[in-house]
């Protein structure tokens, strides 16, 4: 889309005169919106709020502490995606555990954990599987391959979270008033649009599945505002170039075969039924918690950190007293400032003080 068309959409949005608050639930959207300065271009009547869209950020403190405890076990190598290693646990982060002798590896793909396990046959490799529905099928496929190849020294700490149950939990709490959702493009590339129909059925709210260019977001906002004006509540797909209504059938099948829904503990949201995933019986031997039943006690979040409220959209990052002072990307207190997709980090890097 050309900037001419973007300007035209923006003009239309301004001219609609519809007041609305929309939430995005994807860290990549958060970054795209912050980087493009979109909020400043929108009329005051249209507000964008970040929700629980950063997988690293929503990981609970107990789970971070468990991962740190694993890294301190002799003979254990903890492997995970980049942002996870810097999240402060109650005592230390994984990175700090590594500095004091623990083995922590950052991997690009879960498939890299296979070679790590093969190269270290006397060690136990643990893969920390974080991520939403975009990531879960990849981990599911990796678990299938690990089982088929009989790799004995590799297991998975499954911390996956599911987006629709978290959205439902947010709406049920009614802490934030919302008029609709900018829906996550790549989560929906896997899920399709059907799992979001509850928005219409239970809450009469619209959602638009959106791509990641600023123009995509702009067009989605136009579509959401139009729905609101017409009092419609549909799940529409703006990001048709990557999302089919039925999603990715193969990925869904793999996810379904390996995982079953279970309750999960979210930072900021607490325990939500059926919002996480666990390994099904044929694969449960690869569950890290079964291999290392460590007892984690005394987990607590940094007292003044308001990451939880940021994740629920109750406050904006700059309303946290630690923001930019005690908590910066170089010295983060909470995960929302650690992860490149976190709302606090995005606001720190790209947004000026209001």
184 binding other proteins? (CB under 8 A): yes
319 binding other proteins? (CB under 8 A): no
* 58, 52 contact by CB (below 8 A): yes
232 binding other proteins? (CB under 8 A): no
250 binding other proteins? (CB under 8 A): yes
Q: Other C-beta atoms within 10 Å of 241: how many?
A: 9
* 25, 161 contact by CB (below 8 A): no
Among 17, 39, 75, 109, binds other proteins (CB under 8 A): 109
Chain residues 151-180 in contact with other proteins, contact rule CB under 8 A: none
275 binding other proteins? (CB under 8 A): no
Least distance to other proteins, CB of residue 62, Å: 21
Count of chain residues binding other proteins (CB under 8 A): 47
342 binding other proteins? (CB under 8 A): no
* 91, 120 contact by CB (below 8 A): no
* CA-wise closest residue to 292 among 84, 123, 99: 123
* 89, 61 contact by CB (below 8 A): yes
Among 248, 265, 343, 347, binds other proteins (CB under 8 A): 248
* 234, 196 contact by CB (below 8 A): no
Q: How far apart are CA 222 and CA 224, in angstroms?
A: 5
Among 98, 168, 186, 228, binds other proteins (CB under 8 A): 186
* CA-wise closest residue to 75 among 42, 31, 121, 32: 121
Applying CB under 8 A, the residues found at the interface with other proteins are 1, 5, 8-9, 12, 26-28, 55-56, 81, 83, 108-112, 131, 134-135, 137-138, 141, 184-187, 189-190, 211-213, 215, 219, 222-223, 226, 238, 240-243, 248, 250-251, 254, 341
């Amino acid at each position: 889309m050309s900037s001419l068309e973007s300007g035209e959409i923006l003009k239309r949005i301004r001219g609609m005169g519809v007041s609305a608050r929309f939430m995005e639930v994807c860290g990549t959207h958060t970054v795209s919106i912050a980087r493009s300065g979109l909020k400043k271009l929108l009329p005051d009547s249209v507000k964008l709020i970040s929700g629980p869209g950063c997988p690293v950020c929503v990981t609970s403190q107990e789970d971070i502490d468990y991962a740190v405890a694993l890294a301190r076990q002799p003979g254990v190598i903890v492997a995970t995606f980049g942002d996870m290693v810097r999240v402060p646990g109650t005592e230390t982060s994984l990175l700090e555990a590594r500095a004091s002798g623990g083995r922590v590896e950052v991997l690009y793909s879960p498939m890299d954990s296979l070679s790590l396990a093969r190269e270290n046959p006397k060690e136990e490799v643990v893969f920390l599987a974080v991520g939403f529905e975009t990531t879960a099928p990849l981990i599911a496929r990796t678990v299938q391959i690990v089982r088929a190849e009989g790799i004995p020294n590799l297991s998975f700490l499954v911390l996956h979270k599911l987006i629709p149950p978290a959205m439902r939990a947010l709406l049920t709490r009614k802490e934030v008033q919302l008029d609709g959702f900018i829906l996550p493009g790549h989560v929906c590339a896997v899920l399709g649009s059907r799992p979001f129909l509850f928005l219409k059925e239970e809450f009469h709210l619209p959602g638009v599945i959106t791509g990641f260019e600023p123009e995509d977001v702009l067009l989605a906002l136009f579509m959401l505002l139009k729905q609101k004006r017409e009092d419609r509540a549909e799940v529409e797909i703006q990001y048709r170039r990557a999302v089919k209504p039925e999603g990715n059938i193969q990925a869904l099948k793999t996810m379904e075969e390996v995982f079953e829904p279970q309750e999960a503990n979210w930072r900021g949201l607490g325990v939500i039924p059926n919002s996480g995933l666990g390994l099904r019986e044929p694969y449960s031997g690869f569950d890290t918690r079964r291999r290392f039943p460590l007892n984690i006690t005394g987990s607590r979040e940094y007292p003044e950190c308001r990451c939880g409220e940021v994740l629920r959209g109750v406050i904006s990052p700059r309303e946290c007293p630690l923001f930019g002072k005690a908590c910066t990307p170089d010295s983060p207190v909470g995960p929302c400032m650690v992860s490149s997709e976190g709302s606090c980090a995005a606001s720190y890097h790209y947004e000026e003080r209001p």
